[in-house]
Amino acid sequence: MHRTLSFPRIVVVLFLCSLLGAPVVAQEKSAARPATPKYILFLTADGFRTDYLDWYAPPNLKQLCTEGVRVLHATNVFPTLTAPNMCSLVTGSYPRTTGIAANAQYVKEQDKIVLKNRDNKAETIAETLHKAGWKTAAVNQFMLEKRGTDFYVSTDYDDAAATTVAVLDVLKNKQPRFVGVIYGATDHAGHQHGPRSDEVKKAVLEIDAAIGVLVKGLKDQGIFDETLMVFSSDHGMSAYEAKQPATDAAETLRKAGFRVATSAEQLKPDTQIVVIANGVRVIYFRDVTPEQKEKATQALAAIEGTEVLDRKRLDALGCHDNRSGDLIVSPLPGYVMNGVGRTGGLHGQFTERNPILFFRGPGARKGATVEGAQNIDVVPTLLSIVKVVPAATVDGRVIKGVLAK
């Protein structure tokens, strides 16, 4: 029971403080956080650069970040696309494990181009927690639909307010302990107007306002102090550069005499090479000899303003052994594969390996920073805090600097 000190007792306290050299500035004593969270909110904002926090000063997100642990340089999987990164975030696994390598990818064993990849081979955090007895849910997190969640809700992807209403509703009425959530407005605004635009600022502040409502709702439900929140993104967003390679990868290969397909409609029985545009160019050898592979590789390497990532480099990045392609042609700094100088933004390249990431709540340190981590490290870190053993498919590591001592 909280009691107010009477005047004489205050005088005594101040006198003792002065004798001991202790500060006498009155501070409200806040309730200590539980050592282990009862709830986890895994929040992801699509296309939210880490520097949006500094550029646009969203007050609620900045407050939560200040109260928790910010990862200054988070690194996502490559290519920096939504599908593979949303999957890697909730599995803690590289594309080599999940099989989700790009938004669109050529699947060699099926001999077809798949546009919406959901065939994840790794265990999700929701599945792991579900096995441990947790009730789980997701709002808009499409990589968790039918993957370990007891409840799934889909709202307008860009409507941050509606997304928060759905989260609070499912928490109140279904009472899950884990909820995975996506706020989508920053990605669409970034694509249409570019990261340094009034429209992106508006999207950031709309998400921030929704997070403010979410915090108030958690407090109203009496669970805020028991909730560990992670705020993340799948990738960043870049403006279109001023320079473009003289030729595209597909055009270069056709000029070298190869039969190339860039879409499902173009895929024919005699197609030799498949090229998929994903911000970068993912190259799949379909029906070529070793000599033809070398010829194609040399032709691609000659494209000014680009670099060719071979299988050794792709393996080091955690890319899938064939769904990520045999080669990837990536623009060098200052170049963009297409759309040179246009209004708007894009991702898929190395330059968009700058997503936001911070943790706030029980089990996490207060007012701390961590220099760097990968998005595949989020799942093992969360599971470590709630003392649940991660799945064998997890490739990431616990971010030690996040953990409260």
Residue 277: CA count within 13 A, CB half-sphere? 13
Confidence bin at 27 (pLDDT 50/70/90): very low
- Could you tell me if 60 and 78 lie in one domain? yes
Mean of pLDDT values over 50-69: 98
One domain for residues 295 and 224: no
76 shares a domain with 128 = yes
Do the domain assignments include residue 389?
yes
Looking at the structure, tell me whether residues 150 and 170 fall in a common domain.
Answer: yes
Last residue of a domain, one of 298, 320, 341: 341
Residue 8 has pLDDT above 80, yes or no: no
By C-alpha distance, which of 45, 55, 108, 120 is closest to 286? 108
| Out of 32-41, 146-155, 202-211, 308-317, least confident range | 32-41
3-state helix, strand, coil in the chain (%, to 5): 35, 20, 45
Q: What is the pLDDT of residue 34?
A: 63
- Does 108 share its domain with 202? yes
Look at residue 29 and tell me if it is in a domain. Answer: no
Same domain, 367 and 303: no
Question: Quick check: 135 and 148 in contact, CB under 8 A?
Answer: no
Query: Do 233 and 356 have their domain in common?
Result: yes
Query: Same domain, yes or no, for 233 and 294?
Result: no
Least confident of 27-41, 272-286, 329-343: 27-41
Are residue 54 and residue 116 in the same domain, yes or no? yes
Q: CA–CA distance from 20 to each of 24, 126, 337 (Å)?
A: 11, 51, 67
Q: Kindly state whether residue 73 falls inside one of the protein's structural domains.
A: yes
Q: What is the mean pLDDT of the chain?
A: 92
Q: Is the pLDDT of residue 216 over 90?
A: yes
Residues 236 and 264 in one domain: no
| Structural domain count of the chain | 2
pLDDT at 246: 82
Rounded to a whole number of angstroms, the CA Rg of the chain reads: 24
Same domain, 283 and 317: yes
Domain end: 296, 322, 341, which one?
341
- Look at residue 172 and tell me if it is in a domain: yes
What pLDDT score does 341 carry? 86
- In which band, very low, low, confident or very high, does the pLDDT at 33 lie, cut at 50, 70 and 90? low
123, 201, 327 from 151: Cα distances, Å = 17, 32, 39
Residue of 322 and 384 predicted with greater confidence: 384
The pTM assigned to this predicted structure is 0.90
Question: Cα–Cα distance between 18 and 97 in angstroms, integer?
Answer: 62
* 124 close to 90: Cβ distance less than 8 angstroms: yes
How far apart are alpha carbons 405 and 29 in whole angstroms?
Answer: 20
Closest CA to 49 of 372, 355, 373, 350: 355
> Which range of residues forms the domain containing residue 149?
39-240+349-402
* Residue 3 within a domain: no
> Cα(120)–Cα(143) distance, rounded to whole angstroms?
8
- Domain edge (last residue) among 322, 341, 360: 341
pLDDT in tens, 395-404: 999 999 999 9
Same domain for 371 and 296: no
Domain for residue 209, yes or no?
yes
Strand partners, 137: 151, 179
pLDDT digits (tens, 9 = 90+) for 293-335: 999 999 999 999 999 999 999 999 999 998 999 999 999 999 9
Q: What CATH number has the domain bearing residue 166?
A: 3.40.720.10
Q: Would you tell me how many other CB atoms lie within 10 Å of the CB of residue 341?
A: 11
Q: How confident is the model at residue 35 (pLDDT cuts 50, 70, 90)?
A: confident
